[in-house]
């Protein structure tokens, strides 16, 4: 049991502070006529629990591959529904164009900060540009995988973030939509929320942070 509330909350970016990645992928493949099965096969080979170390996605996330280099590798694995090739230039940028900020989650971060909770961003980067103007004032620090050469679920990236916050694992809650990332954080002692949607994450955090109300509680006022 944790008798005292956490002092800080660490948030993932893509799929947590944005619309779900699966929705962006669906829009992207439909718009470009990409066969979704070819993308799913690459994702499974490069990012699943059974993926070997050093896949193109791993190297992209740790900054060893540029987005342009990864675009070429991924495009070589993709085919259109008619069997044609996919244009590599700007491939990831076109995918991420369909991933939009989740205003309900951004408001949740604002509400936590209003309660005096410290907040941080911990993200595995896919070479994408973060909307720092939108995120301005929401986090006291941001730890981006490609900047430090480490990626979730490597325990060292959580330890680096905790060190920068000056807090112990038990004093922090971590929110991520990836089960392997959450499991790694839990093994270090962080309190965790496996994100599915804004309402359920707010509800779980309301159980940890006194004064944070759920959406339904706000609507009943």
62-73 per-position pLDDT tens digit: 999 999 999 999
Domain boundaries, the chain: 8-18+101-219, 21-96
Q: What is the pLDDT of residue 112?
A: 98
In this structure, which topology does domain 8-18+101-219 adopt according to CATH? Answer: Rossmann fold (3.40.50)
User: How far is C-alpha 107 from the chain's CA centre?
Assistant: 17
State how far the Cα of 73 lies from the Cα of 86, in Å rounded to an integer: 11
Q: What is the pLDDT of residue 2?
A: 55
Please name the residue ranges forming H helices in the chain.
Answer: 21-32, 36-47, 56-61, 67-77, 91-96, 103-114, 132-135, 145-148, 155-165, 179-187, 198-206, 215-219
Q: What is the pLDDT of residue 4?
A: 87
Below-50 pLDDT ranges, the chain: 1, 216-221
Q: What is the pLDDT of residue 217?
A: 44
State how far the Cα of 204 lies from the Cα of 200, in Å rounded to an integer: 6
pTM over cut 0.75: yes
Q: What is the pLDDT of residue 129?
A: 83
Q: What is the pLDDT of residue 116?
A: 97
């Amino acid at each position: 049991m944790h008798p005292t509330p956490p002092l800080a909350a660490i948030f993932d970016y893509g799929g947590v502070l944005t619309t779900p990645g699966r929705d962006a992928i669906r829009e992207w493949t439909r718009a470009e006529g990409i066969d979704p099965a070819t993308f799913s096969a690459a994702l499974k080979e490069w990012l699943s629990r059974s993926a070997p170390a050093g896949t193109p996605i791993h190297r992209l996330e740790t900054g060893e591959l540029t987005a342009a280099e990864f675009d070429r590798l991924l495009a070589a694995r993709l085919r259109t529904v008619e069997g044609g090739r996919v244009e590599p230039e700007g491939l990831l940028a076109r995918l991420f164009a369909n991933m939009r900020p989740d205003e309900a989650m951004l408001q949740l971060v604002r509400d936590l900060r209003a309660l005096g909770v410290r907040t941080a961003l911990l993200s595995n980067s896919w070479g994408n540009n973060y909307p720092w103007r939108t995120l301005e004032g929401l986090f006291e620090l941001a730890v981006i995988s490609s900047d430090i050469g480490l990626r979730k679920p490597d325990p060292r990236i959580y330890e680096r973030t905790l060190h920068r916050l000056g807090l112990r694992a038990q004093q922090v809650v971590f929110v991520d939509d990836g089960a392997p990332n959450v499991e790694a954080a839990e093994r270090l002692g962080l309190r965790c929320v496996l994100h599915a949607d804004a309402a359920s994450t707010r509800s779980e955090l309301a159980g940890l942070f006194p004064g944070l109300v759920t959406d339904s509680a706000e609507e009943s006022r």
